[in-house]
Structure 1
Amino acid sequence: MTEQNQPSTFEETKTHFDSVYFYFVILFNDSIHEFSYVEDCLMKLCFKTKKDAKKIAMEAHTNGKAVCFQGSMEECETVAENMTNANLTVILGV
């Protein structure tokens, strides 16, 4: 193996590894829930810190939507189901 091939091999491996976590959950803004409720759900269901939960809630409020979780397809499906059960509006993204 030559020196020139090593970076491309590493990049190919990195890309393959990263693609496992290429799924995400998008939270949509609504006028029903209080910020504190959304932040609590983000901390409990998406495993976010209070600081990150506040940032995501504000982004959803300002832009209409925000990525609230990234992980494998199975993890994202579980988080999306739990967020839906908490009466929050989310979708899965790729």
Structure 2
Amino acid sequence: MTYKTKPLYEEDTKLKVDSIYSYFVILFNDSIHEFSYVEDCLMKLCFKTKREAKKIAMEAHANGKAICFQGSMEECETVAEHMTEANLTVSFGI
């Protein structure tokens, strides 16, 4: 009996590594904060570039919410706490 094994490609490995960090922080749109404040928070607290921060802020504005951070449960919990302390509305989960 012959068994065929699927070759292991880099994409397969990447998918397995990515699944470890399956937690997300979601930023919700609000009418209280200005774009510049939200962008600054995203850069400082979520480690985003100016361009990434602007894109996330626009997505939250247009769709009501946007993923602003992905990482381990502990990382996401910490980022969500800091974002909440900055008076932004966020949640985190799988």
Q: Distance in 2 between matches of 1:81 and 1:68?
A: 13
Task: Give the SS at the match of 1:47.
Answer: coil
By how many angstroms is 1:50 displaced?
Answer: 0.1
Length-normalised TM-score, structure 2 = 0.86
CA displacement 1:35-80 (0-9 Å, x = unmatched)? 0000000000000000000000000000000000001111000000
By how many angstroms is 1:16 displaced?
Answer: 3.6
Aligned residue number for residue 87 of structure 2:
87
Q: Note the residue ranges of structure 2 that are not aligned, 5 or more in a row.
A: none
Aligned residue number for residue 34 of structure 1:
34
**Structure 1 stretch displaced more, 15-24 or 27-36:** 15-24
By how many angstroms is 1:4 displaced?
Answer: 3.9
Aligned residue number for residue 25 of structure 1:
25
* Matched-pair identity in %: 76
Length-normalised TM-score, structure 1 = 0.86
Change in Cα spacing, 1:7 to 1:51, as seen in structure 2 (3 Å) is same
Q: Distance in 1 between matches of 2:24 and 2:46?
A: 11
By how many angstroms is 1:5 displaced?
Answer: 2.3
1:61 aligns with 2:42: no
**Count of residues paired in the alignment:** 93
Q: Distance in 1 between matches of 2:85 and 2:93?
A: 18
Structure 1 or 2: more helix by fraction: 1
Change in Cα spacing, 1:36 to 1:10, as seen in structure 2 (3 Å) is closer
Task: Give the SS at the match of 1:56.
Answer: helix
Task: Give the SS at the match of 2:27.
Answer: strand
